[in-house]
Amino acid sequence: MSAAERLTVALGRRSYDIVVGSGLIAEAGALLAPVLRQKRVVIVTDETVAGLHLARFAASLAAAGIRHQAVAVPPGEASKDFAHFARLCEDVLALGIERATAIVALGGGVVGDLAGFAAATLLRGLDLVQVPTTLLAQVDSSVGGKTAIDSIHGKNLVGAFHQPALVLADIDALATLPRRELLAGYAEVVKYGLIRDRGFYEWLEPDGAALVAGDAVARQQAVRRSCALKAEIVAADERETGERALLNFGHTFGHALEAATGFGDGLKHGEAVALGMQLAFDLSARLGFCKAEVAERVRRHLAAVGLPTSPAGLAGGTLTAAALQALMRKDKKVSDGRVTLILARDIGDAFICRDVAPPALADFLAAALEPGRNSR
Ligand code: NAD
Ligand code: GLY
């Protein structure tokens, strides 16, 4: 087992630490105490995580003399709607919170985004601590301050930037995570290598399978490296006016595929990101930005660990290129009606591309959805 590691997201007065290691939930009280303005927190979690990890977390707060109450929402993306958000806010307010009370998000990305947005808005802003319990949340959603809920018009369309005061990524929490969730999180790990760190990707190629299977040392290494890369990007571009958009690699395709499949269990966010990253490499190769063998290399790795690499057959095979393209136009990065894509020149070398012509994209999507079909 490796010792806990501490990284910093450098944002001036709003800088904060990310602690990555084993046994952190059991030590949470001592780790949280220095960042709390009041020895009181409200823990927001989901019912599944509450059953698995809340008692240990609460005992550790109690041992540090931190008063705590918990509110649990149902697990799953459906909790990120307006109705659950309203109920959560009312439940937290009913506890008689004060401005110095902190919100702790104990759970995956759903809890992090929902509790984070509640923290951003309750009493015009409460401190937030993220205690991510999924791989996806540990490597991505708990870091960087994006919080949001979903609208009937799309995912994550109502939210705020609200940085946490601390992130505690306890690798041990991943031991209870179902394999499919681990794999979904692993897609976001691969993302960092693909956009920015070829060496990391080349470490993942042989070691990724062990990480997914349960190797705690590999998991800690992957979470630490992913968080370091994200911290660097967020520190340089907190509000996504430039390079932070690279973190959306695979997401414009991915969000559209998630929307097309109903944001349900049929296609998890991380699975959609894996498909989206493969589509981004395939399109990059088709447009001559990268070699076809690079796209094939990515496909081999994603498939080897068990992630999907082709959208063909999704939504019962009814999905059309036109429908997918229409969904992609709802992306937050659309500017003057034009879709912004993150493409790649090579592994570790992603770039922002605003000039893929809509007909070329339509043709590419049609071929991806129906691999046997001849392109125009
Ligand atoms: P999730 O929060 O729904 O968690 C997945 C499932 O795992 C849930 O059923 C949950 O109850 C369960 N779970 C959580 N921790 C567990 C544990 N330790 N053991 C067993 N079960 C556990 O999903 P997710 O994949 O963590 O997050 C997806 C969400 O994150 C999406 O809503 C996405 O939009 C959001 N997201 C946000 C950002 C951001 O920057 N804010 C980045 C990426 C994704
Ligand atoms: N997950 C994308 C971002 O945080 O910017």
pLDDT at 373 over 80: no
Kind of pairing, strands 341-346 and 16-21?
unpaired
Active-site annotation holds for 251: yes
Which amino acid appears at position 64 of this protein?
A
Distances (CA, A) of 141 to 30, 62, 68, 335: 24, 27, 24, 24
pLDDT for 154:
81
What is the whole-number distance in angstroms between the Cα of residue 137 and the centre of ligand 1? 6
Percent of the chain predicted with pLDDT > 90: 86
Q: What is the 3-state secondary structure (H, E, C) of 144-164?
A: CCEEEEEECCEEEEEEEECCC
Give the mean pLDDT of the chain.
94
- Give the percent of the chain with pLDDT over 70: 98
Pocket residue to mutate for ligand 2, from 142, 190, 247, 251, most atoms within 8 A of Cβ: 247
Tell me 315's DSSP state. G
Per-residue pLDDT of 193-226, as tens digits, reads: 999 999 999 999 999 999 999 999 999 999 999 9
Supply the pTM of this predicted model: 0.96
Highest mean pLDDT among 258-272, 300-314, 331-345: 300-314
pLDDT band at residue 30 using 50, 70 and 90 as cut-offs? very high
pLDDT for the residue 21: 98
At residue 335, the pLDDT reads 74
**According to the model, what pLDDT value does residue 375 have?**
46
Distance CA 48, CA 42 (A): 17
Tokens of 363: 């043709």
Q: Which two tokens stand for residue 285?
A: 């190769």
Is the pLDDT at 172 greater than 80, yes or no? yes
Whether the predicted pLDDT of 57 surpasses 70? yes
pLDDT digits (tens, 9 = 90+) for 239-292: 999 999 999 999 999 999 998 988 778 899 999 999 999 999 999 999 999 999
The confidence score (pLDDT) of residue 316 equals 82
pLDDT class for 1, splitting at 50, 70, 90? low
Q: Whole-angstrom Cα distance, residue 208 to residue 183? A: 10
Kindly list the protein residues whose Cβ atom lies closer than 6 A to any atom of ligand 1: 46, 48-49, 52, 75-77, 80, 107-111, 113, 133-134, 136-137, 140-141, 144, 146, 155-156, 173, 176-177, 181, 184, 269-270
Domains of the chain: 5-177 (3.40.50.1970), 187-369 (1.20.1090.10)
Query: What's the rounded Cα separation, in Å, for the pair 198 and 192?
Result: 9
Q: Which ligand is nearest to the CA of 162?
A: 1
Nearest Cα neighbor of 362 from 267, 266, 259, 286 is 286
Report the nearest-CA residue for atom 2 of ligand 2.
Answer: 247
On whether the CB atoms of residues 161 and 238 are closer than 8 A, the answer is yes
For tokens 């071929």, the residue is 367
pLDDT, position 372: 66
Asked whether 105 and 54 are in contact (CB, 8 A), the reply is no
Give CA–CA dist 11/228, Å, rounded: 14
If pLDDT is split at 50, 70 and 90, which confidence band does 339 have?
A: confident
Q: Indicate the DSSP class of residue 167.
A: E
Ligand 1 atom showing the smallest separation from residue 185 Cα: 25
